[in-house]
Amino acid sequence: MTAPLLKPEDFDVTAPPFWHEHKAGLQKALDHAGNTHSLEHVRAAIETQDAQWFATQDCAFVTEIISYPLKTVGRIWLATGNLKALKAMQPYMVQWFKQHGCEAILCLGREGWGRAIPGAKRHSIMFVLEI
């Protein structure tokens, strides 16, 4: 399936529609990721355009664009909602990231997310040592 060409204005990634519908799921994702941020931090990052908000009634993503010295990538920071809806949004997010100069999309998450992202390859494993 090829996504139609999107214009940057097709997504208002700074105004969080459906925020209240997805707050509980976002908090669950934050909890699973070790609570490095609060919901207030996430919303502030979206409002200051340090993060992007992609949402429908059925799912939501919080993303970032990271510029490394040799490559610019999109990173899926948080995701919540219906798996079918999340998968359906993938072609549009890919197109949006391409339009913003990204060469790849990174996603850190539970093992199951690898199966949920068509075409994604396992790249590395992250270890955390709480101190």
Mean pLDDT of successive 10-residue stretches along the chain, which has 131 residues: 55 69 93 90 92 91 95 93 89 92 87 72 72 84
* Number of domains observed in the structure of the chain: 1
Residue 85, domain extent? 8-116
CB 101 within 8 A of CB 12: no
Tokens of 59: 């799912």
Strands (E), 1-131: 52-55, 59-67, 72-81, 104-107
In a domain, 62, yes or no: yes
Nearest to 18 by CA among 47, 63, 51, 53: 53
In a domain, 130, yes or no: no
In a domain, 75, yes or no: yes
pLDDT for position 124:
72
In a domain, 42, yes or no: yes
For tokens 């999340």, name the residue.
Answer: 86
Full-model pTM? 0.79
pLDDT for position 43:
92
In a domain, 126, yes or no: no
In a domain, 128, yes or no: no
CATH of the domain at 112: 3.40.630.30
CB 73 within 8 A of CB 105: yes
